[in-house]
Amino acid sequence: MQQSWQQWNRKARAFMWVLTLVGVLAALPLGATRWQMEDSSSKNVDFVFDYRDLVQAASYTAHPRQYIADELVKMKDAGITSMAIFESSLEELVWADYLSVYNSAAAAELQDQPVAPDENYTYLLFAGEEEEAALSPMIEQTFANWEIAVKPWSFGGRTGLILETPVENAMLKPMNPDPIALQAIHAAGFSIVPRLSDRIPYDQNMVDAQMAELSKLGVNRLLFEGDAVKGYKDNAEKKSIAGFAHILTKYNIGIAAIENSKAQKGMNSLAYLTQYNIARLYSLSDSDAATMEPEAIADRFHLAVKDRNIRMFYLNTAPTRSAAKSAVVNSLPNIYDALQGEQGAIRKLSDLGYEAGPAQPFDYESPSWHKPLKAVVALGAVALITLLVSAFIPGVVIPVFLIGLIGSAGLYVLSKPTLEQGLALGAAISAPTLAIIWAISRVKAHTTGSLRPVGGAGTAKSGFGGLNWVFPGLSFGRRITMALSIFAMTSVISLIGVPYVFGLLNNITYSLVLEQFRGVSLLHLAPIGLSALYVFLFTSGSFGGNIRRILNAQITVLWVVVAGVLGIVGMYYLSRTGNAGQASALELFTRNVLETTFGVRPRFKEFMLSHPLFLVGLFLALRYRAAWVFFIVGSIGQLSMVDTFAHIHTPLHISLIRVVLGLVLGAIIGLVGIGVWQVLEGVWRKWVLRYVPMLKISQK
């Protein structure tokens, strides 16, 4: 009975590999669709400046209006294409010198009258007739919506309004974008990107009228201010998100999603209802705009477009006091330098085929044949995960596969995105781990295994636990050839996980980062841990015997030191898996050289650390058993290749080039490392062992 079950299990394992390869083939058309989408998407890049920042900077000059007019010309010449304009407020209108604001006491003093008893109102005086005509209706409508009484007022030949609320309260009330600014921006030749908030109570008719006016000014994309999209607060009562989406579609106005910020509430729903008419936006903070070198800003923009599919850049500035210049300054000159010139962002992006202009959405399609192919990919992912489990627990292929199918079916009913992400993560962990296990098996076959016994009795040295630690049977040339072939095949097996990542996560929401691949930290740890587990517990003897040997081993100070060093290395490694890690000066220099030379830089930890050490380790492992620990280091590079494709917002061709470059450069550095080892080993054998007899061992 047991023998029959083992036969069925072996057949089932072979069938799992067939299903895995079928899943890979099914994922390729899904990847081709994404490749086509990324290749055919808009080549326009929109540089958007924050108009409120410009108004604030102008408020520190002697002639604010003239300053704004002059800077708009400079911005146009620099390549800035759009202006972001917020919902206005009384404070912003004061900055723009459109009106003056007084409280009751100040207004009474202005009129040389006593202060009215028990009154704390806001008094407004418009700068002129033009300002009154443009702003008075908007202000009256805004405060009427807040049920605040508004009365006419005049002084010194100027007209104004009385708002029956304190100045502090009046300043906080949001209004529609400044109509005077809208006209001025439009006349200056800029596109307009309104920034709307969810603070104003949602009214479908008013929003429709607002979008109609904005559409006449050429608005085709807007941003949201705050933590929610417009209409989110009233959605439960008024279904306002659906209504707002209908209006946006009616006027062909899209939205923008800000990178590296918490998703705004209602964004996913609004994106879906507008058929994903979204562009991704990167915001350059005012501090970065002021402190970074222009070349560094240009490089950041260049990489964001090429590597992360960013199509909008939001530029900020802020007035600051400069003791050196004895003046209030801002970062506008630095921004202009970053955009212009031979090394400026405009030129760099032009060389890539991009031009400044309004951002366009992805040309996205989801044909009906995607669904059956995704089902096949999901089936293959279950098979791949089953293979990993069976590598550690033999004889369980059939039950594990059946449990995986049942669990996947249940999870599909509960949450399809969770199922897709779970299977993608499982496949991404399984492929590099199985690759390392395969590499271990090949080295075992040529050293301790029965396929190719090496040397004769007494040629191998025994050590800890009675294990053979030296295998002197293969020539240098043979070891090089075998190490390279095992390195190549291991990488191929690891890359099996890649089609499962881009096949299962083939959804526009991942490209737009509306949804993100979860479990990145687990992906960066699990293959390493599983590889270490296999090296120490499954490469020789029984599992139980290896556990007992480790538990009975004496813990020395050396063990404690090694454990501490490994802990520090592990913490640093984890800190580098996200966006917050800090690169060293050497790494930054190497990145720049690679970016300049190849246009795409491979991942540092792959080509400078893991791949070279893995190749050196393979070469050494064919002679020294202690070198098998290099398989654990090798797992870092293998999982990193799969993780590269888990960054769905990065174009597929960029990820592919990055991985291939990492493998080639890593192999070259590894071969150099092997050469260095051979020289050092030769020196050791020829000189050290000759003159230090107590270290002399067999040189066979």
| Residue 379 pLDDT grade (very low, low, confident, very high; cuts 50, 70, 90) | very high
Instruction: Give the pLDDT mean for 199-228.
Output: 93
Helices within 228-357 (DSSP H only):
235-238, 240-250, 267-273, 286-291, 294-308, 332-339, 345-351
The share of the chain scoring above pLDDT 70, in percent, equals 87
Q: What is the pLDDT of residue 691?
A: 59
**If we measure between CA atoms, which residue out of 360, 357, 279, 359 comes closest to residue 81?**
357
Instruction: Give the pLDDT mean for 430-449.
Output: 92
The pair of structure tokens assigned to 31 is 């990847």
Q: What is the pLDDT of residue 464?
A: 47
Q: What's CA 685's distance to the chain center, in Å?
A: 50
Q: What is the pLDDT of residue 696?
A: 54
Q: What is the pLDDT of residue 158?
A: 94
Rounded CA gap, 241 and 239, in Å? 6
Q: What is the pLDDT of residue 686?
A: 75
Q: What is the pLDDT of residue 116?
A: 87
Burial class (CB in 10 A: 0-12, 13-18, 19+), 580: exposed
pLDDT at 445 over 50: yes
| Residue 566 pLDDT grade (very low, low, confident, very high; cuts 50, 70, 90) | low
Q: Give the three-state DSSP class for 314.
A: strand
**If we measure between CA atoms, which residue out of 608, 585, 604 comes closest to residue 644?**
604
Q: What is the pLDDT of residue 13?
A: 94
Q: What is the pLDDT of residue 572?
A: 56
Q: What is the pLDDT of residue 599?
A: 73
pLDDT at 467 over 80: no
- Rama region for 622: left / alpha / beta (φ>0; ψ in -120 to 50; rest): alpha
Handedness of CA 64, 65, 67, 72 (dihedral sign): positive
Q: Which of 43-57, 299-313, 436-450 has the lowest mean pLDDT?
A: 436-450
DSSP string covering 77-112: HHT--EEEEEBP-HHHHHHTTSEEEEEHHHHHHHTT
Tens of pLDDT along 19-43?
A: 999 999 999 999 999 999 988 777 8
pLDDT at 695 over 80: no
Residue ranges of domains in the chain? 2-38+366-695, 44-87+178-356, 90-175
**If we measure between CA atoms, which residue out of 8, 2, 20, 90 comes closest to residue 499?**
20
Q: Which of 199-208, 382-391, 545-554, 646-655 has the highest mean pLDDT?
A: 382-391
| Residue 454 pLDDT grade (very low, low, confident, very high; cuts 50, 70, 90) | very low
Q: What is the pLDDT of residue 453?
A: 37
| Structure-model confidence comparison of residues 315 and 682, the more confident one | 315
Contact indicator for 421, 375 with CB cutoff of 8 Å: no
Kind of pairing between the strands at 320-322 and 327-329 = antiparallel
Tens of pLDDT along 44-93?
A: 999 999 999 998 999 899 998 899 999 999 999 999 999 999 999 999 89
Instruction: Give the pLDDT mean for 146-155.
Output: 94
What is the helix (H) or strand (E) element at residue 35, kind and residue range?
A: helix 2-40
- Across all residues in the chain, what is the average pLDDT? 88
Rounded CA gap, 242 and 207, in Å? 13
CATH number assigned to the domain covering 44-87+178-356: 3.20.20
pLDDT at 679 over 70: yes
Instruction: Give the pLDDT mean for 390-398.
Output: 91
Q: Which of 148-162, 434-448, 507-521 has the lowest mean pLDDT?
A: 507-521
Look at the block and give the residue holding tokens 């792959």: 606
pLDDT at 560 over 70: no
Instruction: Give the pLDDT mean for 585-613.
Output: 77
| Residue 455 pLDDT grade (very low, low, confident, very high; cuts 50, 70, 90) | very low
Q: What is the pLDDT of residue 569?
A: 56
Q: What is the pLDDT of residue 579?
A: 46
Instruction: Give the pLDDT mean for 93-121.
Output: 92
Question: DSSP E strands: which ranges in 114-176?
Answer: 122-126, 150-155, 158-163
| Residue 201 pLDDT grade (very low, low, confident, very high; cuts 50, 70, 90) | confident
Contact indicator for 133, 140 with CB cutoff of 8 Å: no
pLDDT at 427 over 70: yes
Q: What is the pLDDT of residue 537?
A: 86
Rounded CA gap, 483 and 298, in Å? 42
pLDDT at 459 over 50: no
pLDDT at 689 over 60: no
Look at the block and give the residue holding tokens 């980062």: 513
Q: Give the predicted TM-score (pTM) of the model.
A: 0.84
